[in-house]
């Protein structure tokens, strides 16, 4: 137990320190399964803490599956079920790929592996103090409204604030043209269920958002992949598909597209809208990363003014992914249908989350933090792109902002090979095919630049040369 460091000056409680230290030793096989743990009394004497503290920590470790209590024999080391797979990467490799694979990887606890393709930002980049102050403000102003159902359209003051936000993008709206949702994912789900019937054809970006593909498949819709260029969708290919299949809608990420990081050009946006009018399909514009982009380029919804376009946004990317608040903007009639569907599915969205977002947005601190986040992402993007190009990697484009860069190695035709080599090295990189409708192999893969300067990743990418 000499490897354990306990400090009375730490902000972490003594019990939590003991738990965390012992967990780490078990996970790294320093303490072997079946070995006897130091007795409570001896541990307390060695580390100059109370036996009560050690006893509480041991009980927590038993509950977590790291220790086993044997009457009259003491405590013995064991491993929780989630750590019993032999190679570090075996659980991921053993799974068949599907579009849910990428989403599951976001939530899979892997202390031995960092996922460099995920959408997570470093915790230190997010403003937890702003959220804490918002929670305190809500608690101090608690009223009877917080114990009742909220407005099915969402918290009215936040929708009013959204009108101003959209106006800054050149999108004119009224309160009944805005519907708050539990994140952009619920917004997309509601739109899919409202607009589509099983067997309907829809146009999607290729590559594109993996969770959208899963949702379309679940609803029985048929996704038609439209190749993504650096300035937006390949409109010649899109027109061919529209002529042949008569799609009901197109789902696209106009700005800071995931996974490529590309943004639609004004010319491409104009022509896309004309094609939608010509072939009579709706456009669902997902702009979840809007606040990460400082230059306010015109959106498709700006050109259309919410006539044919449904505009989806989110606050989860820049505030907190734990606060599931997004929105849909569209024409009044369709928004009424979506509000009815939302009530059927979930009554209302979380008024608590919506009020918390409202507090954060109306604090001057949010604007400053957003500027700081954009600056950090801009520096990370520039440094990552410069480094990757110096290592011989080909970039799809140099994004205007955001956190993703789409790249390929000139010597690998299938990024699944790179994924396997990375997994063997304890590096998490998603193969590019998880971002494609048909899961077709591709040499491209995605890196999150906010963690792109990690020495382990740089060492791995350099070794592939």
Q: Name the 3-class secondary structure at 43.
A: helix
Average pLDDT over residues 136-145: 72
Q: Answer whether residue 251 shows pLDDT above 80.
A: yes
Q: Answer whether residue 166 shows pLDDT above 60.
A: yes
Question: How does the average pLDDT of the chain come out, rounded?
Answer: 89
19-52 pLDDT, tens digit per residue, is 999 998 888 888 888 899 999 999 999 999 999 9
Question: Residue 179: is it exposed, middle or buried by C-beta count within 10 angstroms (0-12/13-18/19+)?
Answer: buried
Q: Answer whether residue 85 shows pLDDT above 60.
A: no
- What architecture does CATH give domain 90-125+367-463? Alpha-Beta Complex (3.90)
pLDDT at 400: 94
Highest mean pLDDT among 13-17, 83-87, 267-271: 267-271
Distance from C-alpha of 421 to C-alpha of 428, rounded to nearest angstrom: 10
Tally helices (H) and strands (E) across the chain: 17, 15
Average pLDDT over residues 244-253: 98
Q: Answer whether residue 86 shows pLDDT above 50.
A: no
pLDDT at 3: 73
Q: Answer whether residue 349 shows pLDDT above 90.
A: no
Q: Which fold has domain 14-83?
A: Arc Repressor Mutant, subunit A (1.10.10)
The residue to which tokens 């106009």 are assigned = 254
Q: Answer whether residue 406 shows pLDDT above 80.
A: yes
The residue to which tokens 């999150």 are assigned = 448
Q: Indicate the pLDDT class of residue 99, thresholds 50, 70 and 90.
A: low
Average pLDDT over residues 250-269: 96
pLDDT at 111: 59
As given in the structure block, the two tokens for residue 18 are: 């003991």
pLDDT at 91: 41
Q: What percent of the chain is modeled with pLDDT above 90?
A: 63
pLDDT at 465: 65
Distance from C-alpha of 193 to C-alpha of 202, rounded to nearest angstrom: 13
Q: Which residues pair with 448 in a beta bridge?
A: 404
pLDDT at 100: 61
Under 8 Å CB-to-CB from 258, ≥6 apart: which residues?
Answer: 119, 208, 209, 289, 404, 435, 446
Q: What percent of the chain is modeled with pLDDT above 70?
A: 91
Average pLDDT over residues 242-265: 97
290-309 pLDDT, tens digit per residue, is 999 876 788 999 999 999 99
pLDDT at 339: 95
Q: Indicate the pLDDT class of residue 145, thresholds 50, 70 and 90.
A: low
pLDDT at 105: 62
pLDDT at 107: 55
Residues of the chain with CATH 1.10.10.10: 14-83
Average pLDDT over residues 366-385: 93
Nearest to 326 by CA among 126, 318, 232: 318
pLDDT at 257: 96
Average pLDDT over residues 73-86: 75
Q: Answer whether residue 234 shows pLDDT above 70.
A: yes
272-290 pLDDT, tens digit per residue, is 999 999 999 999 999 999 9
- Domain at 152-363: CATH code: 3.40.640.10
Average pLDDT over residues 54-64: 90
Average pLDDT over residues 125-129: 84
What b/e string do you get for 405-438 counting C-beta neighbours within 10 Å, with b at 16 or more? bbbbbeeeeebbbbbbebbebebbbbbbbbbbbe
pLDDT at 93: 40
pLDDT at 415: 95
pLDDT at 83: 64
SS3 of 295-356: the string is CCCCCHHHHHCCCCEEEEEECCCCCCCCCCCEEEECCHHHHHHHHHHHHHHHCCCCHHHHHH
Q: Indicate the pLDDT class of residue 384, thresholds 50, 70 and 90.
A: very high
Distance from C-alpha of 35 to C-alpha of 281, rounded to nearest angstrom: 66
For residue 464, the number of C-alpha atoms closer than 13 Å in the C-beta half-sphere is: 23
Q: Answer whether residue 89 shows pLDDT above 90.
A: no
Q: Indicate the pLDDT class of residue 120, thresholds 50, 70 and 90.
A: confident
Residues of the chain with CATH 3.40.640.10: 152-363
Report CA-CA distances (Å) from 125 to 128, 207, 302, 405: 9, 28, 31, 19
Q: What is the DSSP letter of 77?
A: E
Q: Indicate the pLDDT class of residue 87, thresholds 50, 70 and 90.
A: very low
- Span of 164-168, 230-234, 263-267, 343-347 with lowest mean pLDDT: 343-347
422-433 pLDDT, tens digit per residue, is 988 889 998 999
């Amino acid at each position: 137990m000499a490897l354990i460091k306990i400090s009375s000056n730490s902000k972490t409680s003594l019990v939590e320190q003991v738990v965390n230290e012992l967990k780490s030793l078990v996970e790294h096989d320093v303490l072997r399964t079946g070995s006897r743990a130091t007795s409570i009394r001896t541990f307390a004497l060695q580390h100059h803490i109370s036996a009560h503290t050690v006893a509480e920590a041991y009980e927590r470790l038993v509950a977590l599956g790291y220790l086993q209590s044997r009457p009259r024999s003491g405590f013995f080391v064991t491993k929780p079920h989630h750590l019993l797979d032999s190679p570090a990467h075996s659980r991921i490799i053993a799974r068949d790929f599907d579009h849910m694979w990428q989403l599951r990887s976001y939530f899979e606890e892997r202390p031995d592996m960092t996922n460099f393709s995920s959408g997570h930002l470093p915790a230190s980049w997010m403003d937890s103090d702003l959220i804490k102050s918002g929670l305190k403000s809500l608690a101090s102003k608690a009223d009877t409204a917080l114990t009742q159902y909220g407005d099915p359209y969402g918290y009215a003051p936040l929708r009013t604030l959204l009108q101003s936000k959209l106006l800054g993008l050149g999108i004119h709206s009224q309160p009944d043209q805005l519907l708050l949702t539990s994140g952009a994912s619920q917004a997309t789900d509601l739109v899919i269920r409202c607009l589509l019937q099983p067997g309907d054809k829809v146009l999607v970006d290729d590559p594109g958002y993996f969770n959208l593909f899963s949702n379309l498949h679940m609803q029985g819709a048929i996704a038609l992949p439209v190749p993504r260029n650096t300035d937006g969708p390949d409109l010649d290919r899109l027109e061919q598909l529209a002529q042949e299949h008569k799609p009901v809608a197109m789902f696209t990420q106009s700005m800071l597209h995931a996974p490529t990081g590309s943004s639609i050009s004004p010319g491409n946006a104009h022509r896309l809208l004309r094609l939608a009018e010509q072939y009579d399909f709706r456009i669902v514009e997902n702009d979840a990363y809007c606040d990460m982009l400082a230059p306010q380029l015109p959106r498709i919804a700006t050109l259309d003014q919410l006539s044919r376009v449904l505009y989806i946004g989110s606050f989860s990317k820049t505030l907190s992914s734990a606060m599931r608040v997004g929105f849909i903007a569209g024409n009044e009639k369709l928004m009424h249908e979506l509000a009815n569907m939302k009530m059927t599915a979930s009554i209302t969205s979380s008024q608590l989350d919506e009020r918390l977002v409202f507090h954060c947005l109306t604090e001057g601190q949010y604007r400053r933090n957003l500027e700081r986040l954009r600056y950090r992402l801009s520096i990370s993007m520039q440094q990552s792109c410069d480094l990757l190009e110096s290592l011989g990697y080909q970039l799809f484009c140099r994004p205007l902002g955001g956190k993703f860069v789409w790249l390929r190695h000139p010597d690998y035709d299938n990024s699944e090979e790179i994924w396997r080599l990375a997994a063997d090295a304890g590096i998490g990189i998603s193969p590019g095919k998880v971002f494609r409708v048909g899961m077709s192999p591709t040499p491209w893969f995605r890196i999150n630049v906010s963690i792109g300067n990690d020495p382990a990743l740089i060492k791995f990418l350099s070794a592939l040369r």
